[in-house]
Structure 1
Amino acid sequence: MQDPNNSFPFDIRDVEGTDDKELSKYFLGAGNFSIQVGPKKYLLMSDYKHDAENIYNMRLRYDDIFVVTYPRSGTTWTQELVWLLASDLDYSTAEKIPLSSRSIFLEQVIVSLPISVRNISLMLQLPRFPMLMHKNIVEHLDKEHADKPENLKNLQLMRTPGSEQVARIPSPRFIRTHLPLSLLPPTLLDTTKVVYVARDPRDVAVSYYYLSSEFKSYNFNGDFKSYWRLFVKDLVYWSPFFEHLKEAWQMRHHPNLLFLFYEELLQNLPATVQRVADFLGKEYKADQIAELCTHLKFENFKKNPSVGIDNLKEYGMMAPKGEFIRKGKSGGWRDYFDEEMTREAQLWIDNNLQDTDMRFPSMQ
């Protein structure tokens, strides 16, 4: 039950019964460590409840810029686009400082740790995953790094609440999150600018399946058909998918929210970049927009070490051959869906879109 004295307005409850058994079956240790939040039952890992109120009531700044997405919807691509447009196309800084440090993930913040390599002082940029590091995962990683004291120390640091770290970041802050608008501060759109990106759910599911299979925080151990079944039942993290999107779609006319489709970035990157620039109040010449599009071209973006998270492989948090940035395409889901899944997916999509005029460019 909701505590009337709590300034977080939604109830948080453990996932139980059949749903908990399914999570336990397919995700490493997820059983008894998953929660559902509010009337829409957003599925999150249990550590969220320790930071839910702090995030909901976080102090916003008027120069904050948020990138909000459901996972695997073009988040990283949009982060780099937004940061460069808002930062006067500072490619030099973008090359020197990892995107994960320039645009902070609210559910994962970055800590700078001093290290010494051959008597040279360096700063190690280490991600923290307080909401993706439930007890069983921590125990699993601790065993893997039992003979590496420094790694054990760093793994412990990863459990620091994101809201604490974001509050210390100097302005202007670039913040990304997979949390839906309803779980973010209610004054968000009246205070800051928000870029929201949506993507065809079938492509999202394929990309999310690969991440979930390769990332230790998920460690999914089933095939894609099993994953899709969980996806449409809202049993993957940050679901339900359509409720997440609809919240933003309903606010798309707010002057401080720009609603984009991933497919728009693919189909006409220059025009979409211009829309984002206009939204941020930035003016650039045509040749500058063209240069940025070249920087963001997927073949170039995938090779850009500043936007990857390969350092997670060192800590065993990602499979050695895992790809955080995969193919950057639309319609790839057709290679994974059989005829029955295709029919079921279309019915699921139609049922969820019947009460809204939202349509994905890939479906028009």
Structure 2
Amino acid sequence: MDKSICFPFEIRDLDHEKTAEVTKHFTGLQIKYVQVGPEKYYFCEGYKRLGPKIYNMKIRSTDVFLVTVPKSGTTWTQELIWLLKNDFDYNSAKAVPITQRFPLLEQSMTHNSEIARSHLNVDNGTEKQTQMTKILSMCGFEVLQKASSPRYIKTHLPLSLLPQELLGTAKVVYVARDPRDVAVSYYNHVRLMLTFGFQGDFKKFWHFFLNSLVSWTPYFSHVKEAWVMRNHPNVLFMFYEELCKDLPSSIRRVASFLDKPVTEEQVARLCDHLSFDNFKKNQAVNYENLRELGLLREGYSFMRKGKAGGWRDYFDEELSAQAQRWIDDNLRGTDLRFPDA
């Protein structure tokens, strides 16, 4: 790391025992991992080179950040924000992938060109290989550095690891979701994406999630950082469950936060566009291009059910009790509560 860059958090390599356990079950990337800061945020080792750069990134007053723990309704909210801010340009929204309109800031942290090439089942130098390598190794940070304003920035990094001037300069939408639903969706995601190569059932994945051994966890540290800042004028804290229960009201709330007046007709059309059936068919947001490139497991899809409370289909009595104790322990002393599904 460049010693001239300000970065107040220690980055420690994951110990050998935990690394061995993780790589035994996540057979895809076969990379090393680190834990960052006092909360021990868990990332692949690419964070060493990218994290300090992000922390010192220059923020523009027109930036809009969407911050979430993975699998918290991120893509859904990205589309909502982008359309509000771009005067409901549905033609562009359907034509241009969400990954280009609303890049992931830390995209290249997990993948680089060497890792991308290792997942190609095609001959070297083919157009397909070139396309996949470009997709997997794209550096969101570098893309955003060169992007014109306004920038729409997706990140799963916690607030403490984001640029120091962020909250005083730009708008931040944070979406939280019941951690049990997050775990279920995350499990299906690592089963879907062949780059993870996850070998195990849901109980095994829950073990990793609970012990903060999946990227961007610990979950509660991440959410509680944002919850503490929920009354900041530049922060809008939302629950995925609220979006599911009353999407029109949620759209109005986001529109007000972003200073974008909306009509009832505009809200109704956006609700229709964001409905699960339409969203699942939308090639610009459902990542089906990755299937064509051989990155998705057959029988799985990026868009699954689009509802809250589905965790009950995965948690037996023992896991449910364990999860409730974990939630109660982490919410003790706070007023953070998750809405009923």
Shorter-chain TM-score bucket reads: over 0.9
Aligned counterpart for 1:145 among listed residues 110, 122, 125: 122
Whole-Å Cα distance in 1 between the matches of residues 14 and 313 of structure 2?
Answer: 32
Q: Does 1:304 align with 2:303?
A: no
Residues 192 and 297, structure 2, Cα contact 8 Å, conserved in 1:
yes
User: What is the CA–CA distance in structure 2 between the aligned matches of 1:216 and 1:244, rounded to whole Å?
Assistant: 26
Maintained 8 Å contact 1:133/1:217 = no
Comparing 79-88 with 28-37, greater Cα deviation is found at 28-37
Q: Is the 8 A contact 1:67 1:175 kept in 2?
A: yes
Instruction: For 1:236 and 1:5, locate their aligned partners in 2 and report how far apart those are by CA, in whole Å.
Output: 30
Q: Distance in 2 between matches of 1:167 and 1:194?
A: 18
One-letter code of the match for 2:279? Answer: F
Which protein is richer in strand relative to its size?
1
Paired with 2:248 and 2:116, the residues of 1 have a C-alpha distance of 43
- SS of 1:225 mapped into structure 2: helix
- Describe the SS at the equivalent of 1:43: strand
* Aligned 1:259-278 pairs, distance under 5 A: 259-278=237-256
Q: How does 1:163-312 map to 2 (within 5 A)?
A: 163-312=141-290
Normalised TM-score (structure 2): 0.94
Indicate the SS of the match to 1:248. Answer: helix
Aligned to 2:75: 76
Distance 1:6 1:58, change over 3 A: closer
Distance 1:311 1:86 in 2: 26
User: What root-mean-square deviation, in Å, do the aligned CA atoms of Structure 1 and Structure 2 show?
Assistant: 2.0
CA distance in 2, matches of 1:270, 1:37: 38
Q: Residue 161 in 1 paired to residue 160 in 2?
A: no
Q: What residue identity is the alignment partner of 1:88?
A: D
Task: Give, in whole Å, the separation in 2 of the partners of 1:186 and 1:258.
Answer: 18
How far did residue 328 of structure 1 move?
A: 0.6
Distance 1:139 1:86 in 2: 36
User: C-alpha offsets along residues 90-147 of structure 1, whole Å, 9 cap, x if unaligned?
Assistant: 1122122222211111123xxxxxxxxxxxxxxxxxxxxx2222698446315x2335
Q: TM-score, normalised by structure 1?
A: 0.88
Q: Structure 1's 40 and 278: CA in aligned 2 closer, same or farther, altered over 3 A?
A: same
Q: Which amino acid is the alignment partner of residue 285 of structure 2?
A: V
> Aligned partners of 2:31, 2:130: CA distance in 1, in Å?
26
- Separation in structure 2 between the aligned mates of residue 138 and residue 86 of structure 1, nearest angstrom: 33
* 1:18-37 superposed matches below 5 A: 18-28=17-27, 33-37=32-36
The Cα of 1:23 is off from its aligned counterpart by 0.6
Q: Displacement, 1:332? A: 0.7
Amino acid at match of 2:219: F
- 1:20, 1:31 within 8 Å by CA — same for their partners in 2? no
Post-superposition offset of 1:233: 0.5
Corresponding residue SS for 1:79: helix
Is the Cα contact below 8 Å between 1:66 and 1:193 reproduced in 2? yes
What is the alpha-carbon distance in structure 2 between the residues aligned to residue 311 and residue 67 of structure 1? 23
Secondary structure, counterpart of 1:207 in structure 2: helix
Aligned residue type for 1:180: P
Segments of 5+ residues of structure 1 without an aligned counterpart are 109-129
Unaligned runs of 5+ in 2: none
1:219–1:146 CA distance, 2 compared to 1 (3 A): same
Distance 2:25 2:258 in 1: 42
Cα pair 1:14 1:35 within 8 Å, conserved: yes
Provide closer, same or farther for how the CA distance between residues 209 and 147 of structure 1 changes in structure 2, counting only shifts above 3 A: same
1:87 aligns with 2:115: no
State the match for 2:111 in structure 1.
133
Question: Kindly, what percent of the aligned residue pairs are identical?
Answer: 50
Deviation sequence 1:233-281 (CA, Å, 0-9, x none): 0011110000000110010000010000000001111111110010001
Q: 1:356 is aligned with what amino acid?
A: T
Code of the residue aligned with 1:217 in structure 2: it is T
